[in-house]
Amino acid sequence: MPDLTRGATFAGHRIEGVAGRGGMGTVYRATHLALDHVVALKVIAADLAADDAFRERFRSESRIAVSLRHPNVVPIHHAGEEEGLLFVTMDLIDGPDLRKLLIAGGPLPPDRAVAIIGQVASALDVAHSRGLVHRDIKPGNILVETDRGDHAYLTDFGLAKRFDQAGEAGALTRTGAFVGTLDYVAPEQIRGGRVDARTDVYALGCVAYEAIAGRAPFADREENVAKIYAHLQDEPPWLPGDSGIAGALDEVVARALAKEPADRYPSAGDLARAAAAAIEGHEVLRSAERSVATGRAAPETGEPEAPAIDTTVESAAAPGAAVAAAPAAPTEPAAAPTEPAAAPTEPVGAGELTATDEASGRHATAPAATVATAGAPRAGAPAGPRWGRIGAAAAILAAIAVAAVVALGGGDDGETATGGFAKPKLAGAPIDVAGWPVAIAASDGTIAVAAREGEAVQFIDEDSAKVAGETKLPGPGQSVVISDGSAWATAPTADAVVKAPLDGGPTETIGVGQGPIGITADGEAVWTADSESVALSKIDPTSGAVADPIPLDAAAFPAEVATGGGSVWVVDRDNAILLRVDAGDTSLQQDFPLGSNPKGVVIGAGSVWVANTDDHNVVRLGMDGNEQDEIDVGGKPRLLAYGFGRVWVANGNGSVQAIDPADDNSVQSVEVPGSPEGVAVGSRQVWVTTGDGDQVVRIDPGAAS
């Protein structure tokens, strides 16, 4: 297909020039004529567009890709057909792809490479959480805006495939073909087996290696057959350099490139966090690892899960030298390599599990995450398997690791958990608060509880744990905050906020936007999220004056709200987004994707935390809105609070979770009666409302151990 000429009009766009070419087609710099906006317009190669199966996949996957909103995913605007040609338009990213960056400047410093990989991993975790597998992770599909501090974007989801209950991974591919690029293709793709999120983890591990080493792990194999065999059988080579960082990163790459999916990191985010920890010279707790993928992008049921305990103990002198326990062997893969690796002729003893490279002095141990493909050692490699999984040796290592965890202070007595804090537990008798208590706030020795059916705010004295009074509301209470010596509560059906001074002064009813639900305060203003008028209201806490409504253009049902970092953060339930509104200039607004039915939001530990109720998790985002992690808490997480060094999650399944941000987001849980809805942090305890349980309960947070 000849290139579209500069100045030509195509699908409502004026062609400005060629931005790039690839195997799937040509990318043009183009101006959308109606909006006068410059975009990247990708026209699919004619031979692909002529394939009926490809056209079907292009249409279905374009719809999915358009809905994937994330700071590290190139936003797609439109996909369609014009003059018999398939095309897609997306944001034009002003920066090179990672491949060009490496060609121009050579290998990246490890910290720079890991920072880029972390952003790509964040995008992949979101895609995987929506049942989408990219299947073609490579440097050419990672764009980097270097003038924005190496802001990375993952692009070209055209090869991605969403899995549902009716289809398999290769349902729309030609028989016998795999989708991907040979330098980064996972063994299961070569074998024609099932692919899932861990297939992308393998490819991301290859990209991480290339970013640091300057070439893909098996790029020295000149023939395609040799590359295929290497992906199936060979261990990745050492990373260049002889530092402890390089040695620690070797083990991260080894696990990412494990031959069997079950032996890899369960999520791209786990890979990125392990790489960052290697750079920083500390360990990452395996107990916090888990898959974030859903649907058919998730591992098949019945596969072994990540270890429930931390199975890595590091030497303070050598961060890269670790002793790791191997999990039970996974079930056999659906299809094995045509030439399986030879088994060792002699059993491997515990003393042979740590090898030293005589040239570099670096140590390599048998990590829990890798498979035994122990053929002939590569040239220059230390004797013995670097990443073997031998039954007897694994059992010995597991025993060593468990003993080490117990010796370091972890136990099974129920009082100490892996999070570095004593286990939280219920404290004192429940406090009766009638009328379906939902939201709760704590400050200055007072606990304020908003009751829905009771249409009131009830006040509890923190020291005596007794109800000390109440203030009636003009309708069902929904949310409450304590600020400037008063409790502020929303009454959505009355379109009002009630200000109740803690010193017993007269209450004041303040009209705001329609249907105020969430409420927060930043010391200078009180803010409400008005669900029906789809706006923010700003109240002067001294005069009670309300500023003009602040429209939230990207929202549909704004609900909960928090303040921090000079911004107001609003959770929109219907559009499943988090909006960041500049508190000084409220016209400056950004939105970021969330999970299903998001509710609570809180700021703490330099992060923004949001509960995705129907996804059973809490998502952690940076103060720039960039997603960092998803923490599975199960049940129905609702409202959140931060204090005592942890994020507290009121979970409708009859529990409260404590997330430790400083310990790889490890989670502790305590059962509480009723159906928890609200949570607040007092001076000594955590306070929780039980909703239809008509009670407030207290939790001893547990001191640092």
- What is the rounded CA–CA span in Å between residue 673 and residue 124? 37
Catalytic residues: 136
**H/E element holding 249?**
helix 244-256
Residue at 217: amino acid letter: P
Q: Give me the residue label for tokens 């009180």.
A: 526
Angle at 462 between CA 460 and CA 468, to 5 degrees: 30
Distance CA 610, CA 628 (A): 12
Q: Which residues contact 339 (CB under 8 A, 6 or more apart)?
A: 229, 232, 233
Q: Are 610 and 619 in contact (CB under 8 A)?
A: yes
Burial of 56 (0-12, 13-18, 19+ CB in 10 A): exposed
Amino acid in position 128: H
Which residue has tokens 């098996």? Answer: 218
Query: Which amino acid, 272?
Result: A
Residue 361's contacts (CB-CB under 8 Å, 6 or more residues apart) are 242
Which amino acid is present at 117? Answer: I
Compute the radius of gyration of the chain from its Cα atoms: 27
Contacts 24+ apart (CB under 8 A), 525-529: 525/583, 526/481, 526/483, 526/488, 526/497, 527/561, 527/563, 527/568, 528/490, 528/497, 528/561, 529/558, 529/559, 529/560, 529/561, 529/570, 529/571
